[in-house]
């Protein structure tokens, strides 16, 4: 069982985990770009915070929460509060039960809402003049990461925590600022990882920058890794983090997934009916071993 939190790259990994039917919870509050937002989510989940009207606001015909991504925003405050509190419960359960937690950090740049003097997870297109942009110091990043680890370990001592830096380039901050931010994150994470047990680092950022250093590995926006790059980094991740027994199950699931997506030339043929029969047998075999799997 696994939790995945952080920038949009963690959702690339999460899609792979979904495809191979791992039990996992991805970004319950949507994409969170920096560690302070992730720390807030973990703190609130462990403390079983209940969100109320005081925690949300109305802007551009929708209700929003500064702790969450806009994908949770809703047209009614009741719907937003329900979704927030449901995700808090799900996160609490997953933190307690997970064997692995993957945290992908995207940036060291944060936005402070001037009115409340708090750092937000998302600005929700509120005018920029209402925020102060800040670069977190190495000490602030380190303190936040250590707090994240301590909070998780307090309720789940056996869990392995894996940090990675997102290869997505935050060029809206500026080319120099993006490099400055990534360097800050990489440097601090290594210090934190080296000082703890069951704390690890996976070099997704370095793989993208050094092994795949060519624009043909980027999507059309020249910012996000394309599918080829995601698949390449996933293969590296799989080599390090997936056991041989789990890899065998993943291969079996892959066969079923490809079978489900297969488009027959003649759906009524005997060959296709036999193919479907064999596919159902493969599904049943997997259900027996892993009852939670649903295709």
Beta pairing partners, 237: none
Q: What are phi and psi of 165, to 5 degrees?
A: -105, 130
**pLDDT at res. 149:** 96
Distance CA(27)–CA(3), nearest Å, equals 8
- Residue 109 tokens, joined: 């740049």
Query: pTM for this one?
Result: 0.92
Q: What are phi and psi of 120, to 5 degrees?
A: -105, 160
DSSP code at position 125: T
Q: Residue 217: name the closest of 234, 239, 232, 202 by CA.
A: 232
Distance CA(63)–CA(55), nearest Å, equals 10
**pLDDT at res. 114:** 96
Classify domain 2-242 by CATH number: 3.40.50
**pLDDT at res. 152:** 97
Distance CA(12)–CA(88), nearest Å, equals 22
Per-residue pLDDT of the chain (295 residues; tens, 9 = 90+): 899 999 988 889 999 999 999 999 999 999 999 999 999 999 999 999 999 999 999 999 999 999 999 999 999 999 999 999 999 999 999 999 999 999 999 999 999 999 999 999 999 999 999 999 999 999 999 999 999 999 999 999 999 999 999 999 888 888 999 999 999 999 999 999 987 789 999 999 999 999 998 989 999 998 999 999 999 999 999 999 999 889 999 999 999 999 999 988 888 899 899 999 999 999 999 999 999 998 9
């Amino acid at each position: 069982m696994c939790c995945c939190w952080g920038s949009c790259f963690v959702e690339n990994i999460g899609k792979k985990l979904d495809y191979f039917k791992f039990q996992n919870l991805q970004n319950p509050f949507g994409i969170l770009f920096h560690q302070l937002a992730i720390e807030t989510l973990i703190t609130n989940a462990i403390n079983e915070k209940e969100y109320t009207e005081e925690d949300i606001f109305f802007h551009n015909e929708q209700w929003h929460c500064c702790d969450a991504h806009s994908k949770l925003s809703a047209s009614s405050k009741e719907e937003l509060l329900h979704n927030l509190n449901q995700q808090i419960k799900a996160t609490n359960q997953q933190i307690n039960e997970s064997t692995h937690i993957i945290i992908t950090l995207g940036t060291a740049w944060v936005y402070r809402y001037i009115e409340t003097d708090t750092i937000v997870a998302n600005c929700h297109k509120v005018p920029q003049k209402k925020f102060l942009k800040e670069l977190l110091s190495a000490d602030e990043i380190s303190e936040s990461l250590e707090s994240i680890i301590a909070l998780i370990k307090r309720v789940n001592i056996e869990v392995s925590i894996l940090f990675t830096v997102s290869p997505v380039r935050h060029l809206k901050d500026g080319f120099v600022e993006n490099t400055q931010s990534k360097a800050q994150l990489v440097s601090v994470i290594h210090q934190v990882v080296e000082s703890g047990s069951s704390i690890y680092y996976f070099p997704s950022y370095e793989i993208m920058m050094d092994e795949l250093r060519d624009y043909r590995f980027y999507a059309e926006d020249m910012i996000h890794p394309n599918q080829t790059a995601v698949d390449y980094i996933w293969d590296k991740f799989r080599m390090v983090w997936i056991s041989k027994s789990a890899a065998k199950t993943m291969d079996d699931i892959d066969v079923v997934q490809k079978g489900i997506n297969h488009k027959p030339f003649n759906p009524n043929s005997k060959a296709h009916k036999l193919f479907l029969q064999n596919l159902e047998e493969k599904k049943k075999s997997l259900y027996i071993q892993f009852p939670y799997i649903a295709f």
